[in-house]
Amino acid sequence: MASYEHTIFVFEQRKYSLKEILALKSAPDWLQTVQNQLIDFTSTRNEMEFYTSGSTGTPKRIVHEKKVLKASAERTLDFFSLKSGDSAALILPAQFIGGSMMLVRALVGGLTLHLLPPKLVVKEIPNVDFLPCTPAQFKAAMQNEALRDFTGAILLGGAPVGDIKPINGMAIYVGYGMTETASHVALRALSENVYSALDGVQFTSKEDALVIDAPHLGVEKLQTNDLVRLIDTQSFEFVGRIDDVINTGGLKIHPAVLESHFHSNGYVVCVSSTADEVYGETVVIVVEDIVSENSMKELLVDVPRSQRPKFMLSLERLPLLESGKLDRTAVRRLIQESQHRLFPL
């Protein structure tokens, strides 16, 4: 096992070497997961296995060679100018690609990595140079002022950013990637709409779906389910997911585009559908918390009539997957089970 002697782990304000953190006994479950991932990566095996989050169906098993994980880590370290001795924090679940890759980056880059429980609400976040987190974690941290004095770079990923807006003085980026690409292959500043490829990555499209080529990641002609507006081989704008498209009377509606209208107005929503005998599908907007009929109708004024939801369903909380992503399958199931609660708009 390589020593990775320059990497330092910080747990409960104490510093540990790799060997020491692995030897730590009676660790909480989440830290045991971190230990297991570290053991797996530093073992003599050439591969590691991961599972997709299941946001678009049954989780899939993905196997990556460790040289791929290292190559991905090196691109991220280069982009954010992270060098040995710089600091980062892990608040993502270590068993998924986003959290696991932060461990790999720390080992490859010789970083000081603060290990924190992967909770939605992290009460205290150290002022590190680099912080990957989900949009939901970021919003919670802003609300409880856990990022009040933060000066490092923040990388959002794992779910749409929703209504999060650029903040003066904060370097906030959005990643595009998936388990199949060993984390992100493109990044954009939160203030921009265009994703730019990391070094060694090229994009094309097929029927408007993004196709990824990244030889250093073992990726060749990987066709995604993401609809994009391709600008060139190095950049694109995200439109929405193919498998989320709602076909209502032949009109195709992209939930992500419609959801952004509500997110920008401060609402947490999921645009989904229910079966319709005439149109095939009809649009349903599922709202977190209670929203009045008048408020919803005011929001819909700026939405083209052909795209407006026909029904609204209010939930106390939108269902999430373990990874923190919106569970659209569960939303569709709730709509089916709650036909009597659908409010016509």
The residue among 4, 27, 3, 2 whose CA lies nearest residue 14 is 27
Whole-angstrom distance, CA of residue 157 vs CA of residue 161 = 8
pLDDT at 197: 98
pLDDT at 58: 65
CATH superfamily, region 245-344: ANL, C-terminal domain (3.30.300.30)
pLDDT at 54: 60
> 8-200 has which fold?
Rossmann fold (3.40.50)
Whole-angstrom distance, CA of residue 115 vs CA of residue 35 = 11
What are the extents of the domains in the chain? 8-200, 245-344
User: Which DSSP string do the residues of 213-261 spell out, in sequence order?
Assistant: EEGGGTEEEEEEEEEEEEEETTEEEEEEEGGG-EEETTEEE-HHHHHHH
Q: Tens of pLDDT along the chain (345 residues)?
A: 567 999 999 999 999 999 999 999 999 999 999 999 999 999 999 999 998 766 555 678 999 999 999 999 999 999 999 999 999 999 999 999 999 999 999 999 999 999 999 998 998 999 999 999 998 899 999 999 999 999 999 999 988 887 789 999 999 999 999 999 999 999 999 999 999 999 999 999 998 899 999 999 999 999 998 989 999 999 999 988 887 888 887 788 888 888 888 887 778 889 999 988 878 889 999 998 888 878 888 888 888 888 889 999 999 889 988 767 788 889 999 999 999 899 988
pLDDT at 56: 54
